Structure 1
Amino acid sequence: MEKKVKIIISTIFQNGGEATRALEMAKIIRKHQPNDYRAEIIFLSHSSPFEKIAREEGFEVCTIEPKAKFANFHDDFKTRFGELIGDYDVAKEYLESEIAIYKRLKPDIVLHGFYPIAGIAKRMITPHIPSIAFLPLPLTENYLDEIKAFPDELPMARLPKWLQKFVIKSIPRKMMLKNPALRHSVIAQAAFDLGWDKSQPLRGTFDMLRSENYLINDFPFFYKKENYEGNFLFTGAIYSETISKENNDPEIIKWLLADNKRKKVFCTLGTSGDKHHLIEVIKVFNEGEGKQWSAIILSPPAICDLEEAKKYVKNSNVYITNQFVNAKEINEKADVVICHGGQGTLQTAITSRTPLVGIATQPEQQINLEHLSEFGMAERISYWNWKATYIRKKVSKILSHTTYKEKAETLNKLSQTIPTKQLIGERVWDIIKNLSL
């Protein structure tokens, strides 16, 4: 007899990285579905351009209140340092809505990304809802032993790297847990006011994302795997090509086919950057060595109006677009990528064997970029150094030293040894088979 299982996937569905990771997770689960099971997979959304993509892929989407008002989720959340949601009323409304939809849909299991609202709501339901957290990092207390640098937002981040490592090692674990980057106190207060059991800790990120099972979507060789329990599975990185399409823009095709000696640079800051970051990238190609390079620059509407971005261009070899592109195809032709530290963007560069210059717009992005920098295929620039002259200098360094490209090729080969989709599919269905359906 066929067993039915209802799966809810909850992420910040407005965010490109979270949404595309979630879509890939859903496709993997469906592909590995045993013959005697039938999965009903439902995405939760507060209104997102990715809803259409999810439906086209054959999944259900449940759009819930409050509806997103802005293209960038940070604006809806009123995000500030250490507070994913910086406004109490917003946090409470999102949490109430999440709890209500769980009660109405009665899922057998919840899969959630880096989204404390989902991590908290699932544990405020009776009866208990089993869960799997799919995260870009192993976000539990033991992860503190992996941290080597302070978040860019803190003054201590300006210390030399060797000194940062020394200081961090000398900080007691209890003090580390009070790191302001981890607190999310606004969300915690909303949870307490809605009935969170105060006997259960809710001190910050680790508690809020607590789950019975974790799928860590990153390469295992970047971590001390022995520090993590058996419910942590390092799967390798996943990213979805769902939103990619054939590049049919004549300007992009011309760039891809160009056989001149100009070095090609692809710039993609996603929706996690801001207008200042984008403008500094455009200026890279207006002076000095940058005038000899050609570039494709993505200008998401959530970050900067296309016509405004074009006003800063002084190089005829630079093309700016606000459309979705086949990023992998462009990456493969690029000599260097300038990007943010989102996992999907970095993974695309890795699979394309393309070295990169990156900026972290969130603490987890900083860690992603540090991994690639230490490996030798990337240069990370702190946000206070994100200026056209400095970016140009780093791009030039990568173009001048073949070791960056060689390291990118090495990491690509290592990544191919990890059967990511198989690991995820088998683990998820092993967990589901042990549920009382």
Structure 2
Amino acid sequence: MATVLFCPVTFNLAETTRMIQVARALSPEHRAVFMGYEDDYVDLIRDSGFEYVSRAPVFTRQDREQLIAFDQGKTLKNPYTEKVVTDRVSIEREVIREQGASAVATGSNLTSYISARAEGVPLYYPVPFALTEPQVRQARHLFLVDGRGRAARFADRLATAAFRAVYTRAPLAPRSFAAVAVANGVPPMRTISSLITADRNLITEMPWELDGFTLPEGFERVGPIFAHIEAPMPPIVEELAAESRPLVYLGLGSSANRRLAVAAAHALGALPVNVIAPISHYLDSGESLPSNVHVTGLLPAHQLGGLVDAAVLHGGQGTIQTACATGIPFVGMGLQPEQTWHVRLCERRGNAIAVSPKRVGSPEFVAAVRRVLADRGIHAAASEVQQAYVGADGAAASARIIEAGI
């Protein structure tokens, strides 16, 4: 029996659930252990039956917001001081030894990229293709500039070229990582791309999403991985699905914000639809929303197929893949380039409409929702994508790759 240590950022819902899916797919011959620092989604890990090792230092709410902005390419500021990186690497190395881990699987827990290598343990990263080094090197458009016209596309090509140079060549990684890497006998990570490139990078895409791209050594496609939250569906969902009004699912994951959640809820509330919205974590106590918007906690979204007529989504890959696998057409609002890239690919496929989050509440947004609900061509495309997803199991493929290396 071998032990695999999973180190997600546990305040990131998509990353935590992606790790859970891979851990579930491991053979019973092996043992999965999780470790992390923040406790936002730790209950999902424990409820799935996995051991969880909690450690400190813990990032504050301000630290987390800064990290999300850093991850989204909106800032170079981050809370990774040399002391934080030193402490976390030391802790992670200790946990790897204590647990006897033969492999580490991570997401954007950046210190894992030092600690696993310092312990001589292979590091696996199930990851969306967007904003990986090969995608940034090869893509003509990263959707850094909002808009669709010729001028916007030209500006985006220029922005993409500039971003490519910064991301892959400029020594802009926090200096703390290079210093701590060297202190732990690991080659220094100096570029942004080197911070998030593992030994084996498991690309969580469908085949058509990699059309026109070549994967270098160390990168391989495994297929989609999205959450299967084992919780009962609230009765309100089936009650609303049985009504004559269309039912719209509003899913904003863990990388949106209160302003967007409230704006989207009010815009949808003005339409002749019912809305099921697992956005309680974004709302203030006593928040007033339209009566046709029903707020819940996390839902088993993979069970919504056949219950909801359309969705409005923030663009996170797991959320998008859940809609694709369940045949739900959607309006997608990419909050950062990786999310916009996935929404635009679905729009090209025909099962979605992309709208800027800045346009929530505008006539453009309302028209997109109405069209997704009524357009038979979009619904037909959603059904075709759903069929293509049958049998696609990135978690199982990732588990087999990890098992082959331990």
Aligned to 2:34: 43
Q: 1:343 to 1:246 in 2, by over 3 A?
A: same
Q: 1:365 to 1:169 in 2, by over 3 A?
A: closer
SS of equivalent residue, structure 1 residue 116 = coil
SS of equivalent residue, structure 1 residue 62 = strand
Query: Map of 1:13-412 to 2, 5 A cutoff?
Result: 13-29=10-26, 32=27, 38-70=29-61, 74-75=64-65, 77=67, 79-80=69-70, 82=73, 86-88=77-79, 92-94=83-85, 96-106=87-97, 107-123=101-117, 125=118, 127-137=119-129, 139-152=131-144, 157-158=145-146, 160=148, 162-163=150-151, 165-166=153-154, 176-179=164-167, 185=172, 188-196=174-182, 200=187, 202-224=189-211, 227-241=214-228, 243-249=229-235, 251-258=236-243, 260=244, 262-287=245-270, 290=271, 292-301=272-281, 303-305=282-284, 307-308=286-287, 311-313=288-290, 316-321=291-296, 323-412=297-386
Q: 1:95 to 1:403 in 2, by over 3 A?
A: farther
Moved more, 72-81 or 221-230: 72-81
SS of equivalent residue, structure 2 residue 294 = strand
Q: Separation in 1 of the partners of 2:256 and 2:177?
A: 29
Q: Separation in 1 of the partners of 2:67 and 2:171?
A: 12
1:42-61 CA-partner distances (Å, limit 9, x unpaired): 21111324323323333221
SS of equivalent residue, structure 2 residue 262 = helix
SS of equivalent residue, structure 1 residue 265 = strand
Q: 1:90 to 1:8 in 2, by over 3 A?
A: same
Contact persistence 2:331–2:353 (CA under 8 A): yes
Q: Separation in 2 of the partners of 1:363 and 1:75?
A: 17
SS of equivalent residue, structure 2 residue 182 = coil
Q: Separation in 2 of the partners of 1:67 and 1:141?
A: 29
In structure 2, the gaps of 5 or more residues are none
Q: Separation in 2 of the partners of 1:345 and 1:352?
A: 11
User: Displacement, 1:199?
Assistant: 9.8
Q: 1:133 to 1:196 in 2, by over 3 A?
A: same
Q: Report the AA paired with residue 75 of structure 1.
A: E
Question: TM-score under structure 2 normalisation?
Answer: 0.87
User: Displacement, 1:427?
Assistant: 1.8
SS of equivalent residue, structure 1 residue 194 = helix
Question: TM-score under structure 1 normalisation?
Answer: 0.81
In structure 1, the gaps of 5 or more residues are 433-437
Contact persistence 1:65–1:94 (CA under 8 A): no
Q: Separation in 1 of the partners of 2:82 and 2:67?
A: 8
User: Displacement, 1:372?
Assistant: 0.8
1:280-301 CA-partner distances (Å, limit 9, x unpaired): 11221344xx1x1111122232
Contact persistence 2:136–2:142 (CA under 8 A): no
Q: Report the AA paired with residue 15 of structure 1.
A: N
Contact persistence 1:15–1:73 (CA under 8 A): no
User: Displacement, 1:87?
Assistant: 3.6
Q: Separation in 2 of the partners of 1:239 and 1:210?
A: 21
Moved more, 271-280 or 134-143: 134-143
1:337-367 CA-partner distances (Å, limit 9, x unpaired): 0111112211211121111011122332122
Q: Separation in 2 of the partners of 1:148 and 1:376?
A: 21
1:148-186 CA-partner distances (Å, limit 9, x unpaired): 43445xxxx135355555566678978623159x9894x
Q: 1:117 to 1:389 in 2, by over 3 A?
A: farther
User: Displacement, 1:135?
Assistant: 0.6
Q: Separation in 1 of the partners of 2:318 and 2:249?
A: 15
Q: How many residues in Structure 1 have an aligned counterpart in Structure 2?
A: 401
Aligned to 1:435: none
Q: Separation in 2 of the partners of 1:297 and 1:175?
A: 35
User: Displacement, 1:128?
Assistant: 2.3
SS of equivalent residue, structure 2 residue 237 = helix
Q: 1:115 to 1:138 in 2, by over 3 A?
A: farther
User: Displacement, 1:18?
Assistant: 0.5
Percent of residue pairs identical = 17
SS of equivalent residue, structure 1 residue 374 = helix
Aligned to 2:8: 11
User: Displacement, 1:21?
Assistant: 0.4
1:94-133 CA-partner distances (Å, limit 9, x unpaired): 553133322343232211113333224333x1x4221111
Q: Separation in 1 of the partners of 2:160 and 2:333?
A: 29
1:53-79 CA-partner distances (Å, limit 9, x unpaired): 323333221111123544x97337474
Q: Separation in 2 of the partners of 1:422 and 1:238?
A: 9
